[in-house]
């Protein structure tokens, strides 16, 4: 989110220094507040039943940024209609877990009480369930890896089994792409096998991720059927390049449970019109 708040002396660390330089040398001309304003207007027009945010609501993991992100989320509608997860930018400081719990608790309320900690959590909304996984971890300078803990993976397995028994559509949200090779190794999900093993064994109907700032649409082979995976570009990009335009998905879930049918509408930011508009459908 822009603009970047002023940093307090105690908030500086190597990761944030590098991020600060990157923001002022490049990123502040790419991620723009007016694009987010256009996004908010478009979401009000489209009136989705539920909004999924797959991370990177902040730039440097500052406490003020978390406060600002909560204001943005409240402007999108009731907390019960929004599911969020953190990205790698949320974990730029050692207090990131505290900030997540303090400022995002309204959007992380769990409906199943399987997990002992904040993640994974489940939002059950009618016939559909949204499962939030955290791959956000502190990393070394110049690295942006993610990791899903064994505890999260074990809890995810229980959740997937229980939701299938309830005939719910299972939508998993994770920030980093869950397979290797899509992005640079320094930005990839570290040791993704435990997460993939759970998903392949117990199934899911859809996985949503961010992080790559590109549009991806692919499948993971499951025990019973392929699992569709969607990655999306940044919602706040102001750029003519199709791969870098502000972008989000409107996803229709027709039916429920394992037999749900998916349709995807891509909505892109039009610089000339200063608004989001319909792109391709899949």
Token duo for residue 39: 């996004």
* pTM attached to this predicted model: 0.95
Q: Which letter does DSSP use for residue 189 in this model?
A: B
Helix%, strand%, coil% for the chain, nearest 5: 35, 25, 45
Hey, what CATH class is 11-281 in? Answer: alpha beta
Residue 85: phi and psi, rounded to 5, are -140, 160
Residues contacting 148, CB < 8 A, separation 6+: 133, 134, 135, 174, 189, 192, 194, 195
Digits of tens for pLDDT over the chain (282 positions)? 667 888 888 899 999 999 999 999 988 888 899 999 999 999 999 999 999 999 999 999 999 999 999 999 999 999 999 999 999 999 999 899 999 999 999 999 999 987 778 899 999 999 999 999 999 999 999 999 999 999 999 999 999 999 999 999 999 999 999 998 999 999 999 999 999 999 999 999 999 999 998 899 999 999 889 999 999 989 998 877 666 689 999 999 999 888 999 999 999 999 999 999 998 655
Number of Cβ within 10 Å of residue 206's Cβ equals: 21
13-19 long-range contacts (CB < 8 A, ≥24 apart) are: 13/92, 13/93, 14/141, 15/92, 15/93, 15/138, 15/139, 15/141, 16/60, 16/61, 16/62, 16/92, 16/93, 18/141, 18/142, 19/59, 19/60, 19/89, 19/92
Residue 166: phi and psi, rounded to 5, are -85, 0
């Amino acid at each position: 989110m822009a603009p970047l708040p002023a940093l307090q002396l105690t908030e500086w660390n190597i990761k944030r220094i590098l991020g600060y330089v990157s923001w002022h040398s490049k990123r502040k001309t790419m991620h723009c507040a007016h694009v987010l304003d256009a996004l908010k207007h478009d979401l009000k027009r489209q009136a989705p039943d539920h909004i999924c945010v797959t991370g990177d609501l902040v730039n440097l993991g500052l406490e003020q940024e978390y406060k600002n992100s909560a204001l943005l989320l409240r402007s999108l509608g009731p907390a019960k209609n929004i599911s969020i997860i953190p990205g790698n930018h949320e974990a730029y400081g050692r207090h990131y877990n505290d900030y997540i719990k303090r400022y995002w608790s309204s959007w992380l309320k769990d409906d199943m009480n399987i997990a002992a900690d904040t993640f994974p959590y489940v939002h059950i909304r009618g016939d559909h369930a949204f499962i939030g996984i955290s791959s956000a971890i502190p990393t070394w300078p110049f690295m942006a890896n993610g990791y899903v803990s064994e505890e999260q993976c074990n809890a995810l397995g229980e959740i997937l089994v229980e939701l299938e028994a309830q005939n719910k559509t299972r939508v998993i949200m994770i920030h980093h792409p869950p397979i290797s090779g899509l992005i640079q190794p320094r930005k990839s999900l570290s040791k993704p096998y435990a997460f993939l093993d759970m998903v392949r064994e117990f199934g899911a109907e859809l996985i949503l991720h961010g992080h790559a700032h590109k549009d991806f649409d692919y499948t993971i082979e499951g025990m019973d059927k392929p699992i569709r995976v969607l990655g999306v570009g940044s919602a706040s990009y102001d750029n003519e390049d199709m791969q870098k335009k502000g972008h989000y998905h409107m996803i229709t879930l027709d039916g429920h449970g394992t037999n749900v049918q998916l349709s995807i509408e891509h909505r892109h930011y039009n610089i000339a019109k200063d608004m989001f508009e319909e792109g391709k459908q899949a």
